[in-house]
Amino acid sequence: MIQLFKPTFFKCSIMIITLALSVSCKNEKKQEAPQKTETKPNIVFIYLDDLGYGDISANGATEISTPNIDKLANGGVRFTNGYATSATCTPSRFGILTGIYPWRNKDAAILPGTAPLIISTEQTTVPKMLKQQGYQTAIVGKWHLGLGRGNVNWNERVSPGPNEVGFEESYIMAATQDRVPTVYIRNGHVDGLDPNDPIEISYKTNFEGEPTGKDNPELLSMEWHHGHNNSIVNGIPRIGYMKGGEAAKWNDVDMADHFLKEAQTYVKKHKENPFFLYYALQQPHVPRTPHPRFVGKSGMGPRGDVILEADWVIGEFIKTLETEGILENTLIVLSSDNGPVLNDGYNDDAVEKLGNHSPTGGLRGGKYSLFDAGTHVPFITYWKGTIEPTVSDAVVCQLDLFSSLAHLTGSTEKTDDSEQLLNAFLGKSNQGRKNLILEAGQKTALRSGDWVLIPPYEGKPVNKQVNIELGISNEYQLYNLKEDRAQKNDLANTNKEKLAELTATYHKLRGKSDIEIKELELK
């Protein structure tokens, strides 16, 4: 919270006013008036990858325990209606950092590791905005917003990237853990690269003599299910082909510890002045590679184990803030880039060992889906001593952090898409958004109050590879989430008035779409 201390003025009231007493009174006033001070909090985004609304015990999970995430949830604002912008990773990351709907950017889709940067270097971003307000800025973890301009030489400085869109320090993986290049990148340079063993990357053709998951199953420690059968690193088949860079390749089971250490080091280095840290964890995205300390601990296979691992690193990170004496001056936002998925390309027992656990928390759909579980995610704000513990039903989106943090820190920056909801994020108000456009695969839907409208689209209703309903139908769909959280009762044919109202709102907000949708015919 920004603390403003107002000076106290002392009145000198006496029967006889002399010059000496007048001077004395003025001096007293000058000496005792407190200085006007302003304290800006550190700001940390803890961003998980594919964590569902029901994957944390604070949101009702009973088969898995996440005590460190729960500590934040129970000590801050736990949102029951918190949203990512999108049901997949790249678009959501674009939205949280720019304050702009990702469907406005045609390139904001799941990117290969060789994709060019999709955030313009001229564009205002959260780190740029905070940097202007005196913040040091950094990212540690997953990036997946493209690097370079489309023809990257991984053996030289890779640019533009995070450092060119507002982050003064960056330590990242380029895309996802299941995609090449499987190396860490520090401020544009591949960490630990041997110049005598240059990296080559392709998403089209393999390099001569390099084994693949498809052709060399005997080399695998993890079996692929779909789409993940190219270059093999650490016994795990990936998406894309890679040659060279052996000394720089990461060790998957150490990744969580590795990023944690980087985040802790950053905090210790910059604790004396305000900082913004975007700490983007890889869990529970595939390939799920828990450190041996966590293997088998959840009873739900690697997916459950890496959720426990993520909870642990979050706890260790919070301890660092506390040890360094800055926890009470740090605003923490914890969320996920999209909803959950079980089998997302590897046979890792995520389906077979699920048991009674519901990653969606009873919501319909999941990652990739227009149904609510695609974008309705864990969302927590925590600021020890400033935010009073509460549960909020306000509809909020990661998109809104841009304008809200600008307001908090005294910036005048804003975007048309990002709403200023600081009071909701600080637990002072239960008023959130009235309307929100949500996206999955560049198809969009509307959340308006308690209602959800999904327009008609062409396409398959179920992604059979991951066994998730996508929310696609050739007819309009209308749901009341307050009465029907699981979206089982489509009211499009029985509530024509609400359907017409939301259709008009949707078209007003969405504008022209590149995707053809049917016009509603009311009779």
pLDDT tens digits for 485-510? Answer: 999 999 999 999 999 999 999 999 99
Confidence of residue 2 (pLDDT cuts 50, 70, 90): very low
Q: In this structure, is residue 384 part of a structural domain?
A: yes
Give the per-residue pLDDT at 512. 57
132 pLDDT higher than 60:
yes
Q: Which two tokens stand for residue 40?
A: 């800006």
Q: Which two tokens stand for residue 292?
A: 């041996």
When the pLDDT of each residue in the chain is averaged and rounded to a whole number, the result is 92
523 pLDDT higher than 50:
no
Distance CA 230, CA 213 (A): 5
Q: In this structure, is residue 445 part of a structural domain?
A: no
Does the pTM of the predicted model rise above 0.85?
yes
Q: Count structural domains, the chain.
A: 1
Q: In this structure, is residue 474 part of a structural domain?
A: no
Q: In this structure, is residue 116 part of a structural domain?
A: yes
Cis link prior to 41 (omega < 30° from 0)?
A: no
Q: Which two tokens stand for residue 98?
A: 């720019």
155 pLDDT higher than 60:
yes
Give the per-residue pLDDT at 208. 96
Q: Name the residue range of residue 387's domain.
A: 42-190+254-429
> What does each C-alpha distance from 406 to 282, 333, 402, 414, 428 come to in angstroms?
27, 15, 6, 7, 17
Judge contact between 425 and 407, C-beta under 8 A: no
Q: In this structure, is residue 467 part of a structural domain?
A: no
55 pLDDT higher than 60:
yes
List the one residue out of 98, 110, 39, 128 whose CA is nearest residue 331. 39
Give the per-residue pLDDT at 460. 96
HEC-encoded secondary structure of 448-475:
ECCEEEECCCCCCCEECCCCEECCCCCC
Q: In this structure, is residue 469 part of a structural domain?
A: no
Give the residue-averaged pLDDT of 252-257: 98
Q: In this structure, is residue 416 part of a structural domain?
A: yes
Q: Please, what is the Cα angle at 22 between 21 and 25, to 5 degrees?
A: 85
Give the per-residue pLDDT at 445. 98
Judge contact between 441 and 368, C-beta under 8 A: yes
Q: In this structure, is residue 370 part of a structural domain?
A: yes
242 pLDDT higher than 90:
yes
Give the per-residue pLDDT at 205. 97
CATH of the domain at 343: 3.40.720.10
- φ/ψ of residue 285, rounded to 5: -65, 155
Distance CA 309, CA 260 (A): 11
19 pLDDT higher than 90:
no
Give the per-residue pLDDT at 38. 63
Q: Is 210 exposed, middle or buried (0-12, 13-18, 19+ CB in 10 A)?
A: middle
Give the residue-averaged pLDDT of 273-282: 98
122 pLDDT higher than 70:
yes
